[in-house]
Amino acid sequence: MERRRAAQDLLPHLILWGGIAIVAFPIYMTFVASSLTQEDILAGMPLLPGPHLVANYREALFRGVVATSGISVLRMLWNSLVMALIIAVGKIFISLLSAYAVVFFRFPLRMTVFWMIFVTLMLPVEVRIVPTYQVVAELGMIDSMAGLTIPLIASATATLLFRQFFLTIPDELVEAAKIDGAGPLRFLVDTVVPLSRTNLAALFVILFIYGWNQFLWPLLITNSPKMTTIVIGLTQMIGLGEGRTDWDIVMATTLLAMLPPALIVLLMQRWFVKGLVESEK
């Protein structure tokens, strides 16, 4: 019996390990490349890490390269982090409030408002990029963190999700709070937000990564090297045409760029697993 179970377990394990290998191999190769010199890489990639790991990362983090006008990767990481955090927190804040209004309040044109929010889902940044650019330019927000983040915050992504979740909160709970004397804001803070914490964690992860990976909008809106985000910086490092590309530094930067989203996922995963285990009702 025991042996049969072991044999049955083998195949799923093989498939899983195969999957992991396929996903992890390019990341491993990036890691290997980031520990070599430019010459080693161009001479043909070995499969084992070399001795230049620390030197490459130090150079990427603190010195920067010619292609990025000498802006260090550390600075780019910081820009990206601030941008992604503002976008994620801003989107959650706006969506939470708008979904709360749409679900728990009765006001004229309530459903019209909801559908207007909903329709913006169908207009991603790329579609409305020209008018948005003009608005931001006329407001004088080009090349500022506000110009970078505000247009990306104003969208409906999370409103719909929050609305669906709020609809599952029983009416009796709302009424109990009314009788207890909790006003609308108090109910939001004391009851709705704590009950939504699993949704908040999941959305934060998704929106942070969404913000972190933004490319087109930052490319348009930022001009000065000081505002460069990591994703933009990375593409600048890869020289086009006759430009020289320091592949060792590029690879180190790539891994550094992956690190914050990966950390966010790891940290938040513990949160929403906890939330799922403790799920209410």
Partner 1 sequence: MGEVTLRAVRKSYGATEVVHGVSCDIADGELVVIVGPSGCGKSTLLRMVAGLEEITAGEILIGGKVVNAVEPKDRDIAMVFQNYALYPHMTVRDNMAYGLKIRRLARAEVEARVRRAAGILQIEALLDRKPRQLSGGQRQRVAMGRAIVRDPQVFLFDEPLSNLDAQLRVQMRVEIRRLQQSLGTTSIYVTHDQVEAMTLADRLIVMRGGVAEQIGPPLLLYERPATVFVAAFIGSPAMNLLPAVASEDAVVLAGGARLPLPADRAGLAADRPVTLGIRPEHLVAGDGPATIEVRVELAEMLGADTILHGRLGDGSLLQARLPGAERAQPGERMRLAVDPRQLHVFDRESGKRI
Separation of alpha carbons 107 and 101, rounded Å:
9
| Site track for partner 1 across 193-212, x = CB under 8 A | -xx-----------------
Residue 175 in contact with partner 1, rule: CB under 8 A? yes
Q: Which stretch binds partner 1 (CB under 8 A): 30-38, 151-159, 180-188, 262-270?
A: 180-188
**Residue 186 interacting with partner 1 (CB under 8 A):** yes
172 binds partner 1 (CB under 8 A): yes
- Closest to partner 1 by CB, 70 or 194: 194
Q: Does 9 bind partner 1 (CB under 8 A)?
A: no
In the range 75-104, which residues lie near partner 1 by CB under 8 A?
none
When binding is defined by CB under 8 A, the residue of 53, 113, 182, 188 that contacts partner 1 is 182
In whole angstroms, what is the distance from residue 132 CA to residue 125 CA?
Answer: 8
Nearest residue to 27 via CA among 251, 277, 261, 278: 251
Residue 280 binds partner 1 (CB under 8 A): yes
* Per-position x/- string for 113-152, each x denoting binding to partner 1 as judged by CB under 8 A, each - no binding: ----------------------------------------
179 binds partner 1, rule: CB under 8 A: yes
Beta carbon nearer to partner 1, 63 or 178 = 178
User: What's the token pair of residue 110?
Assistant: 């309530």
Of 18-26, 55-63, 131-139, 181-189, which segment contacts partner 1 by CB under 8 A? 181-189
Query: Does residue 63 belong to the site contacting partner 1 (CB under 8 A)?
Result: no
- The total number of residues shown for the chain amounts to 281
Q: Does 38 bind partner 1 (CB under 8 A)?
A: no
Residue closer to partner 1 (CB basis): 82 or 182: 182
281 is an interface residue for partner 1 by CB under 8 A: yes
174's tokens: 């709302």
Give whichever of 181 and 241 is closer to partner 1, judged by the CB atom: 181
Cβ pair 218, 148 in contact under 8 A: yes
Answer whether 54's CB lies under 8 Å from 40's CB.
no
Q: Which of 170, 185, 240, 277 binds partner 1 (CB under 8 A)?
A: 170
Q: Which is nearer to partner 1, 58 or 186 (CB)?
A: 186
Instruction: State the minimum distance, in angstroms, from the CB of residue 160 to partner 1.
Output: 23
- Identify which of 62, 71, 124 has the alpha carbon closest to the alpha carbon of residue 230: 71
Alpha-carbon distances, residue 259 vs 10, 11, 77, 104, 273 (angstroms)? 32, 32, 10, 39, 21
What does the binding site for partner 1 look like in residue numbers (CB under 8 A)?
Answer: 170, 172-173, 175-182, 186, 190-191, 194-195, 280-281
